[in-house]
Structure 1
Amino acid sequence: MTDTLNVLENITYNELKEGDSATLSRTLTQDELVLFAAVSGDVNPVHLDAAFAAESMFKERIGHGMWSGSLISAALATVMPGPGTIYLEQNLAFKRPVKLDDTLNITLTVLRKEPRNRVLISCNVHNQRGEQVVVGEAKVIAPTERVSLLKPSLPEITIAS
């Protein structure tokens, strides 16, 4: 029997309807913050240095804005429309900081279907308190063929102290 949590399935252009929505949730951990800094090269001390961040307008370390943006990408690629989606455009407005241990809930909603399998999708990101942290819209090319596949495994990564 296949574990449905380890399966990725898409929604094709023809199946998508205006108003359809989907969600994804993720928590910003210390490890994710450090890994995102390493992968992106964004080592702004407001993300990594507690003493520096304490003197900032946020009074504590905050997550990278594009970490939140990357969760939108993850939701588009794995939830709706899902595997086979091609990301074309994105606009984002960052409304409030994301702090360590915040859980973000990404909600995607189909706004409009366009010719050539293009879909305009509303992207709303809220923290665990229901506060909006990011808002925007994405344009994608939705897949035209249905797929169902096992979610790829990622290697175990250890953060060096």
Structure 2
Amino acid sequence: MEMSYPPKILHVGDFALFPKTVSASDVTLFAGVSGDMNPLYLNETYGQHSSYKMRLVPSMLIASMMGGAVNRLLRPSSCPVERRFSVRKPMQVGDTLTTRAEVREIDEEKGQVRVELTAYNAAGELVMQGESVEDVRMCRGGEER
């Protein structure tokens, strides 16, 4: 099977960004959907009295935002086969996060793209990094291209 989209139009080094200021409302909504009611994410006073001295953004919310960068890179869609993340620095509610997805490898035979994921706070500090393997063949309406 020959793949024509997107690997033939993608190149190693192509990237996309997804910037967003993460509000308290974003965190509260994410906690409600995910069921992760950690007081470090939901209670300003609790966060201030923790070793972090601040209310934190859930790492899985950051990981989800990395998915936004992947979607911008591989649009209109791709299906994650594997994703891994490492938290490098806590992120404070109200900070601006910029996630970046960059093509690192294209496997035309498997129909997969390996993407490097990074997230930086407004000060330019690395908050999270990871990697995703995305299937680009099988996620357009359930049909192979």
> How high is the TM-score relative to the length of structure 2?
0.86
What's the secondary structure of 2:74's corresponding residue? coil
Q: CA deviation at 1:13?
A: 2.0
> What's 1:60 paired with?
54
> What's 2:37 paired with?
43
Gaps of 5+ in 2: 141-145
Q: CA RMSD in A?
A: 1.8
Instruction: Specify the code of the residue in structure 1 equivalent to 2:19.
Output: S
**Is the Cα–Cα contact under 8 Å of residues 91 and 137 in structure 1 kept in the other structure?**
yes
> What's 2:69 paired with?
75
Aligned positions, number: 135
Q: CA deviation at 1:127?
A: 0.7
Deviations along 1:90-129, whole A, 9 cap, x unmatched?
1111011111111111111111011221010100110111
Gaps of 5+ in 1: 1-10, 147-161
Task: Return the match for 1:95 from 88, 93, 102.
Answer: 88
Deviations along 1:23-47, whole A, 9 cap, x unmatched?
1111110110100010000000111
Q: CA deviation at 1:51?
A: 2.2
Q: Percent identity?
A: 27
